Amino acid sequence: MSGRISLASGDAIQTQIGGWSFDERTVPTFDSHVEKSVPFYHEGHSLITKISDFFVKHDSVCYDLGCSTGSLLKKLHSYHEGKAGARFIGIDREPAMISSAKRKCEGQGNLDFLVSDTRLFDFEASDFITAYYTVQFVPPKDRQELISKIYGSLNWGGAFLLFEKTRAPDARFQDITTALYNEYKLDQGYALEEILAKTLSLKGVLEPFSLEGNMGLLRRAGFLDICPVFKYLCFEGYLCIK
């Protein structure tokens, strides 16, 4: 098989083996695709919004890393619209995603979207940072530096919410969670061929860590107060407070 073979990964998204990307080919149907691909996607947004009450104040700076089309940040911004001076900044390396986010949130003040690589971005001091299933796409060799940068940018008492797809602790549990997740995608209406195509397209692109791997990243960065707040099969969320 050649990496040049076109793969139909569902929702009119065409890609190649090891060639998944979030560029202009993905943007038109991204929202519907991710809603069906990530269990409890909107519930996760709602959970993050409610948790943010404990950390977002007047004049707070809040970041969403890998913001894609801006859905989560738009919800956070609307939820805290009464907090004077609070600013919400979405960062994504894909210009097409940022363009879509700007259109979705046009006319809303204190809400900005920037094209940038989070590994290179110069963060302001902040109170609340989210990474909603995005760090898993950062090359493993760069993850520790990124998490350490996030920790360094937070004000004391600030929070980092990390949601990630994870690997199971051993092969048996990995087989079980993989099978159950594939059944979940079948229930969402994806064909077997589309599920396989998506898996092949993510080879070398999506590199999940285990729970312990993610905990190691967070602890080495300096986070001591970490609490799991979400778990469904291989999808997990952690609240980390500086």
- The single-letter code of the amino acid at 239 is L
Question: Would you tell me which CATH number, out of the four given (3.40.50.150, 2.40.50.140, 3.40.50.720, 3.40.50.12280), belongs to the domain 7-241?
Answer: 3.40.50.150
Q: Which residues of 25-54 are buried (b: 16+ CB within 10 A; e: fewer)?
A: ebbeebbebbebbbbebeebbebbbebbee
User: Could you read off the pLDDT of 93-127 as tens digits, one per residue?
Assistant: 999 999 999 999 988 889 999 999 999 999 999 99
Q: For the whole model, what pTM was predicted? A: 0.94
214: tokens are 């993610």
pLDDT band at 12 (very low <50, low <70, confident <90, very high): confident
Are the beta carbons of 51 and 127 closer than 8 angstroms?
Answer: no
Going by pLDDT thresholds of 50, 70 and 90, the confidence category of residue 3 is very low
The DSSP result for 184-216, as a single string, is HHHHTT--HHHHHHHHHHTTTT--PPBHHHHHH
Per-residue pLDDT for 2 more than 50? no
CA dist 92 and 7 (Å) reads 25
What does the pLDDT read at residue 233?
97
Which residues pair with residue 97 across a beta bridge? Answer: none
Could you tell me the residue ranges of all domains in the chain?
A: 7-241
Residues sharing a CB contact under 8 Å with residue 40, sequence separation 6 or more, in sequence order: 230, 232, 235
Angle at 238 between CA 9 and CA 28, to 5 degrees: 25
What's the rounded Cα separation, in Å, for the pair 110 and 7? 40
Q: SS3 for 89?
A: strand
CA trace torsion 12, 105, 87, 139 (10° rounding)? 10
CB-CB contact of 140 with 207 (8 Å) = yes
The per-residue pLDDT for range 14-49, each reduced to its tens digit, is 888 988 888 888 899 999 999 999 999 999 999 999
